[in-house]
Structure 1
Amino acid sequence: MTVIDFTAFIDRLATASGETILPFFRTSLLDVENKSASRDFDPVTEADRAAEAVMRRMIQASFPEHGIVGEEFGNQNEDAEYVWMLDPIDGTKSFIAGFPIWGTLIALLHRGTPVFGMMHQPYIGERFSGDNRSSRYRGPSQGRKLAVRRCPSLQEATSFTTSPLLMNPDDRAAFGKVEAEVRLTRYGGDCYSYCMLAAGHLDLVIETELKSYDIAALIPIITGAGGVITTWEGEPAQGGGRVVAAGDRRVHEAALKRLNG
């Protein structure tokens, strides 16, 4: 069975999760819980849980031999040949604030490597998908192939991170070295930043403290659009942690040098 066999099923997962989430978005009755045991705020909503539950049921019914790794309900059969990684709402803080810069992340891994990824934003009606060889956009502005843009240097780059406040002090200082050189830095975006990079609208995304389900779906989208994504150490990024994504390898290499001193 090849990756192409799964594309229609992934579209069905995206549709079902979107239909589950949308009734909760921008409603005054949305219940929000804090998953963090510390002073940090790590919100989860009934929309997160309901959407992941729907996708899990569909996967288990269609592919009972596959593994699943999800943000809300843990891992099962994670050593299987095929494993699904699910983040029902990446950007829950934006979701609860009513901003539409969140998305559902669906990744398919084959023997530990992400081979297909989708980011679905049901409120706007956008889908970004990729399989490491090519990436596509579908949405209100019609469908098109995604391609990163060329950028010769950090000094000409537009950079995004969700927030430097999410970084530990050492990582924040290292990020500051990059931020001091780029042409423009913006904050926020979560998964949307990576998709805008794949679409050629920005040049660099730097993050820390990511989980595997935060990033796995975005890797095939970025690489399929011609970009590069690794850890700060230059290793494969599917395990999460500290991640750097760039549309141009020259920007990626320069960012790694600054981040690593």
Structure 2
Amino acid sequence: MTVIDFSAFIGRLATASGETILPFFRTSLLVDNKSSRHDFDPVTEADRAAEAVMRRLIKANFPQHGIVGEEFGNEREDADYVWVLDPIDGTKSFIAGFPIWGTLIALLHKGTPVFGMMHQPFIGERFAGDNGSAHYRNGVGERRLSARRCERLEDAVCYTTSPLLMNEADRAAFGRVESEVRLSRYGGDCYSYCMLAAGHLDLVIETELKPYDIAALIPIINGAGGIVTDWTGGPAQNGGRIIAAGDKRVHAAALKLLTGS
């Protein structure tokens, strides 16, 4: 099978998860804290319900495929095809009533992300890519995504969800980049990466990501002509410390500051 064979099914996953999530949005939600430490890592009934409905669809249609999900763990993760699911990326925004969250759906083939989608059902937006191209769709129509050119850090717009999520050393490294860019803003989660693919910003720098936080976004950014790696310049699909850029030149410049080289 090719990735194209799966595109309609990925759309079904997005629709089903969105229909499951929306009745919970901007309502009184029971919020659990998944963290065993003193920080706050929220999960809601909407997260669990959306991942459950996507898992049921995958198992019914592709029982031989693996699944990696934020809420219910991993199954057959050594399969040739593996689905990587984050039902609500940006749960903190979700529980605060802000629409800066999305459902992330990735398809991996032999460990490599070959298709990704970010679906925002409240706004009605979908960002999708297959490494070769990327597209944006809403209720009005569809257009191709293209990251913008930006050669110099001093011209760049940079995003991170929050420097407070970084350890002290990583926060200092991020600060070196932040001091050089034209504009630095916080927040966004998955939306920041999609805005990079759409050509509205130039850098996204984060740490401590899980595979389900980034896998779906890699084919979108690559398909839009951008680049996403870890802080060593290696593959990003395993998460960790991540840097995404619309232009390889600003990516290289930021990477030097991050690594102190």
> TM range, normalised to the smaller chain?
over 0.9
Match of residue 218 from structure 1:
217
TM-score (norm 2): 0.99
Q: Which runs of 5+ in 2 are unaligned?
A: none
Name the residue aligned to 1:156: 155
Q: Distance in 2 between matches of 1:154 and 1:64?
A: 47
CA-to-partner distance for each residue in 1:48-105, whole Å, 9 max, x for gaps?
0000000000000000000000000000000000000000000000000000000000
Look up the match of 2:99. 100
Secondary structure of the residue that 1:239 maps to in structure 2? coil
How far apart in 2 are the matches of 1:243 and 1:151?
Answer: 19
2: CA distance, partners of 1:166 / 1:140: 35
Aligned residue-pair number: 260
2:73 paired with 1:88: no
In the alignment, is residue 5 of structure 1 matched against residue 20 of structure 2? no
The 1-side partners of 2:180 and 2:140 are apart by 33
SS at match of 1:250: helix
1:115, distance to aligned residue in structure 2 (A): 0.1
| TM norm structure 1 | 0.99
After TM superposition, the runs of 4+ consecutive aligned structure 1 residues lying more than 3 A away are: none
Q: Which one-letter code corresponds to 1:255 in the other structure? A: A
Identical-pair percentage: 79
Distance in 1 between residues matched to 2:236 and 2:48, nearest whole Å: 26
Question: Which residue number in structure 1 is paired with residue 24 of structure 2?
Answer: 24
Quote the Cα distance in structure 2 between the aligned partners of 1:143 and 1:163: 31
**Equivalent position of 2:69 in the other structure:** 70
Q: Secondary structure at the match of 1:9?
A: helix
Counterpart residue identity of residue 189, structure 2? D
Distance 2:44 2:27 in 1: 12
- Secondary structure of the structure 2 residue equivalent to 1:26: coil
How far apart in 1 are the matches of 2:157 and 2:138? 24
1:152 positional shift: 1.2
The structural deviation recorded for 1:142 is 2.4
SS in structure 1 at match of 2:93: helix
How far apart are the structure 2 equivalents of 1:165 and 1:133?
Answer: 34
Provide the rounded CA distance (Å) in 2 between the counterparts of 1:153 and 1:141: 35
Q: Distance in 1 between matches of 2:30 and 2:140?
A: 33
Gaps of at least 5 residues in structure 1 are: none
Name 1:206's counterpart in structure 2. Answer: 205
* 1:98 aligned counterpart, secondary structure: coil
RMSD over equivalenced CA pairs, Å: 0.5
Tell me the CA shift for residue 141 of structure 1: 4.9
The answer for the alignment partner of 1:173 in structure 2 is 172
